[in-house]
Amino acid sequence: MTRMVRGRITEFTGRYDFLSPYYTACVHLRDGYPYPSLMHAYVASRTTAETIRAQIRRTPKRETLDYYDKQLLPSDTSWFQNRRLVLVDLLEQKFTRTVRLANLLIDTVPCILYYVSDDRYLGCSENGETGKNVLGNLMVDIRRRLIRGDLDVSGQLIGQQGVRETAPERTGVLLREDTIRITGVLRTNVGLVGSSYKGVC
């Protein structure tokens, strides 16, 4: 079930599953290898050992990835100072690789995004009172930059009016979008596809 309470999105599932760091969307670290999700890359960024990174890249199960998340200690303590920059880079990749994901993120306006998680750095409690909610706050910042036209999405610079002029009606399934540029604004022809969409690296 997806929850949106008083302008807050607190569960990254269902209609908002694309907000989850576990959502399949190919991203890269500086090692040049593709990682199947933001969370895969974020966890792998803690180590420079290629054998461990390769194991993480090949991990299909969330439970196994969560195990690495809890057990893998950073190989360099500077990771704690740099992890926010790592997240910014990974989120920019995630939401600028396809116009589709950029549109879906923009569609969350004007909601605050609370990543409810036991990880009190990435996330927070459901009411937002405990935890830093860094992931949620960074996605709000990415959303703002997309709307302002500060980010280049799939080689197309988004204008101040955003990716589309009007948001399509929601029906509980994900969207397939074919985009063309008209008078400086990306207009979108929207078709419905199944809700089990998975990106590929």
CATH code of the domain covering residue 22: 1.10.357.40
- Looking from the CA of 150 toward its CB, the CA atoms found within 13 Å total 8
pLDDT of residue 12: 96
| Residue 66 resides in a domain | yes
Residue 121 domain flag: yes
Confidence at 109, pLDDT banded by 50, 70, 90: very high
| Residue 200 included in any domain | no
End-to-end CA separation in angstroms for the chain: 28
Per-residue pLDDT of 2-25, as tens digits, reads 555 569 999 999 999 999 999 999
Tell me whether residue 201 is in a domain.
no
151 found inside a domain: yes
In a domain, residue 198? The reply is: no
pTM: 0.76
136 assigned to some structural domain = yes
Number of domains in the chain: 1
Length of the chain: 201
Residue 179's domain spans which residues?
A: 4-192
The C-alpha torsion from 171 through 178 and 88 to 116, rounded to 10°, is: 10
Whether 119 is covered by a domain: the verdict is: yes
